[in-house]
A = this chain, B = another copy of it.
Amino acid sequence: MIFEERINAVRHFNRFITRQIGALQEGLLHSPYSLTESRILFEIANHSQITASDLTRQLGLDPGYLSRILTRLEEQGVIYKERSETDGRQRILKLTSEGKAVFSLLNQRSYDEVSEFLSELSDIEQQQLIHAMQTIEGILTKNRRFKFSGPYFLRQHEPGDMGWIVHKHGALYAKEYGWNEQFEALVAQIVADFINHYNPDKERCWIAEMNGDIVGSVMVVHESDAIAKLRLLLVDPQARGLGLGTHLVQECIRFAKRKEYQKLVLWTNSVLIAARHIYQKLGFTLVAEEKHHSFGHELIGETWELEL
C-alpha cells in the first residue's frame, strides 16, 4: 500500500468513527444525563480526590462550562463539593449516595450494552477487535501530535494508588531486571511508612494518569528538616518517551525548594539507566556507591544529591 493510500485510509477511518461515536456511547444516551455529564460522573466515580480542574484537563472541557454542569449536578443532589485541605482554591468532587446509585445505573447500562454487542461476535472477532483498539490507542497516544492538552496529567495520590505503586514496581522490575519478591516487599514497606507518617506540609506523592490509566508515580518524603528524599520514581512502559520521568522529578525539585529543604537526595541502582539519565540531566550528582546483594542479584547501589 502506497503512502497516499494510507493517508486516505486514516482519513476514511476518521470520518467513520466520527459518525459512529454517538452509537458507541448509546448506552449512556438514553438517560436524563448528557454524554458530557455521563463522562463527568464516570470520572468522579473513579477518583476519590478529583477536582474541577482535573476534569477540564482529562475531558478537555471549558472551565466555565464545567463549573455550571457541576453546579447543576450538585443542585440535583448527585454530587457534592468539599473544600480541599491542601489547597483552599480547590473543591474535591464526590458522588452523594444518590449519585452513586445514578452512576451505578448508567455504568451498568453501558456495560450491558457493550456486553451484548460483544457477545454477538465470535471469539476470534472479539480478539481482533480488542487488539485493534489497543493498537490504535497505543499508536495515537505515543504520538504527541494527537494530544488533547498533554497526553498525561499529574495529580496527588488518593486511595488505591499505593497498591498500584507496589504492584507495578513488583511486576515491572521482575519483568525487566528479574528482581524477586524481596523488592516488592521493600516497596510495600516504603509505601506503608509513607501512609503512616504522611505530613502534607512536608511530603508529597504524584500520580501520572493517561487516558484513565495510571502510568507513573514519584514521592518526596521528609528525612530531616534540611533533607528531602525522592522515592519510587516509576514510568509505565506504555508512557515512555513522553518526558514523563523528567516531569515527575522536576515536580519533586520544585516542591522541595518551595518547602525550604536544602537538599534532595535519592537512592537508586546503577542498572536503572533511564532514571540515572534523568537525575544527571536535572543536576543531581552521584555522591556514593556501594555493592549489595539484593532482590536476587548483585547490584551497585548509588546515592545522588541535589543542592537546592
Are B137 and A16 touching (Cβ within 8 A)?
Answer: yes
Q: How far is the CB of A60 from chain B (nearest CB, A)?
A: 6
User: Out of B18, B110, B137, which one reaches A13, CB within 8 Å?
Assistant: B137
Closest to A11 in B: B114
Q: Is A20 an interface residue (CB 8 A)?
A: yes
Q: How far is the CB of A268 from chain B (nearest CB, A)?
A: 31
Q: Known contacts A7-B118, A10-B133, A130-B10; decide if A39 and B21 are in contact (CB<8 Å).
A: no
A135 to B212, CA, bound (A): 24
Are B14 and A148 touching (Cβ within 8 A)?
Answer: no
Are B60 and A6 touching (Cβ within 8 A)?
Answer: no
Q: Which of A115-130 contact B (CB under 8 A)?
A: 115-121, 125-130
A23 to B18, CA, bound (A): 11
In the bound complex, residues from chain B placing their C-beta under 8 Å from that of A59 are 19
Q: How far is the CB of A152 from chain B (nearest CB, A)?
A: 13
In the bound complex, residues from chain B placing their C-beta under 8 Å from that of A21 are 17-18, 21
Q: Known contacts A133-B132, A145-B120; decide if A25 and B14 are in contact (CB<8 Å).
A: yes
Q: Is A281 an interface residue (CB 8 A)?
A: no
A11 to B137, CA, bound (A): 12
Q: Is A101 an interface residue (CB 8 A)?
A: no
Q: Is A140 an interface residue (CB 8 A)?
A: yes
Are A23 and B148 touching (Cβ within 8 A)?
Answer: yes
Q: Known contacts A118-B3, A148-B22; decide if A125 and B139 are in contact (CB<8 Å).
A: yes
Closest to A137 in B: B16
A116 to B3, CA, bound (A): 11
Are B6 and A140 touching (Cβ within 8 A)?
Answer: no
In the bound complex, residues from chain B placing their C-beta under 8 Å from that of A42 are 15
User: Out of B20, B35, B127, B146, which one reaches A20, CB within 8 Å?
Assistant: B146
